[in-house]
Structure 1
């Protein structure tokens, strides 16, 4: 299963060594944002609550001794949580904004909801995560809110088409208060690094400005269309 995710390629180019990785919101193992690190035998935490995805993750990564699976959702409390099934965009039912709701006009139906266990991220964080990728369809803030580690690299789903993360202000404040800066953005994620990890090149800064302009224009297009 060979992949070359952008985050992995960019870090390799910078010469950054990663010792522990975590992905919150895996969906399917073949689409994992940290699959390249898994294949390099880097100690890995995978957090995924969807039973269908859990089955597939166990099937693909079950024999990997360096991969630990946490089969529950991350949220604002420990207990039970209702999720709305939307394939790769499955989200917390009580959220007012998620990629499925905003971009796909998804309508929540009780028959498509399912209940999972949920925990605060602090329950599983041992302060040793170097890189974390968070893609949980609008609930990303609840990882940062309770995180103990201060990863060198953080990837968060913050945007996508017409969608903007409903907790973008909380995320941005946390990023500033904990000495991170934006490294780059792709079509859905913002990747942050600890200040001082490496110098962001002029070309990377220009690329970020171009991407941010495109994201802003896409959102403006929606406003004008109504």
Structure 2
């Protein structure tokens, strides 16, 4: 091992005229005839420490060395090469979350549009004719939760033609389902999906078989799960 003594006013902390650095023998042979280059490198390192302390963050400088030992030290850079700060991590996480939510919303809109295009989805006028009433009455019943109407945005509300009982009237439990589940699309999902509480029947199948109380109970369970 060998020792190098580095000096130079302005390059060292106040009160210090020099310091020793332990260097392996293999490096000593290469560096011993290049004291000025070693000094330049150490000065650049000292400047980097001072810059980092002032900025309160990590900074960097670059050293390019050729096979002959000549080197070029690039001045301290302004950009931060450290790992992202907590704030940057949070910002990245927020951006990722927002992208995921946007993608989910897009998929939801696409799926909703697909559902509303099906042949069993009627317009307000078509559904009114099916029930022998008026569009105004249908919209009033939709607002009261007495019939199921799904918002189709561009094409207006759509009404499933299968929400009728054996007498050709809307299921009597629809208003209660709207109350328990909180929205038309939630009611739709409940009616088309199978439920363990209903022995694997969909909500619609349970209503068609007269198992109204069981269907309402299952809806209450679903509603609690999502509160």
Interval of TM-score (by shorter of Structure 1 and Structure 2) = under 0.3
TM-score by length of 2: 0.21
TM-score by length of 1: 0.21
Structure with more relative contact order (C-alpha pairs < 8 Å, separation 6 or more): 1
Higher helix share: 2
Higher strand share: 1
Larger Rg: 2
